[in-house]
Amino acid sequence: MKFSNQTVLVTGASRGIGAAIAKAFAAEGAFVVVNYLRNEAAAAGVVEECRALGGDALGIAADVTSEQQVNAMMEQIVNATGRLDAVINNAFAPYVFDTENRSRFWETSWSGYQSQFDGAVKAAYNVCQAALPSMRARVRGSIVNLTSDLVARPSVPYHDYITAKAALTGFSRTLAMELGPLGIRVNCVAPGLVYPTDASQATREAVRDSLTAQTPLRRIARPEDVTGPVLFLASDWSEFVTGQTLCVDGGLVMN
């Protein structure tokens, strides 16, 4: 299997896209670290599913916006497996994709932006800083950051969320430049609307129908649709790919 004997950290992996990614890695033989914030029962369920799929898994509670908690999580990972091959930064600050009840720009406080920056950029910063020693020691590693196709096509102006994801894209590109000579690759996967997830439950059917009509593949993404591109960018199949953003939205955004 492609990720046999490899350790992969997936943040925000107790549900939704993160859980789907964790299980996909496990099905390919990885030891998956299922990071979660509070829902221990959900994370334990994902760990069991990972094991049933043929991999192994460990659930670790950590707030990825906390440097101290991330460092403690990384120490647990190193003690448990002795290595870290890939990091998937999937966790983000809570958000609701509701086109009708979204905050307009004049209603969006700076604290709203700050919350999204912390959930996207600060979290990725903390995890990447903590992961770097293990990856540098092996002169090898892959980091995949989850952004959004809304950065390229802000069809609904979710101001704070999109701005934070755009910043994460810039962070990823500059990190790719810095870490490339160290053998570490950094890429982004940018999904479109993924349904159903907790964040997309409030997206109205009319909006989903409109996006479907505009999408060449004529449907909305499911969480499982995101897994293949993430695994590709984490694997040796993409060993000469870094600094890139792969949109996963059925062709809604074409680069």
Query: With contact defined as beta carbons under 8 Å apart, do 200 and 194 qualify?
Result: yes
C-beta atoms surrounding 107 within 10 Å: 9
CA dist 54 and 236 (Å) reads: 20
CA count, 13 A, side-chain hemisphere, 108: 17
Catalytic site residue 95? no
In three-state secondary structure terms, 243 is: coil
* DSSP, residue by residue, 130-197: HHHHHHHHHT-EEEEEE--GGGT--SS--HHHHHHHHHHHHHHHHHHHHHGGGTEEEEEEEE--BSSS
Spatial CB neighbours of 131, under 8 Å, sequence gap ≥ 6: 9, 74, 84, 87, 141, 143
Catalytic residue among 36, 125, 161, 195: 161
In three-state secondary structure terms, 8 is: strand
CA dist 209 and 214 (Å) reads: 9
Check residue 239 and report its DSSP letter: T
- What's the alpha-carbon Rg for the chain, to the nearest Å? 17
The residues annotated as belonging to the active site are: 161
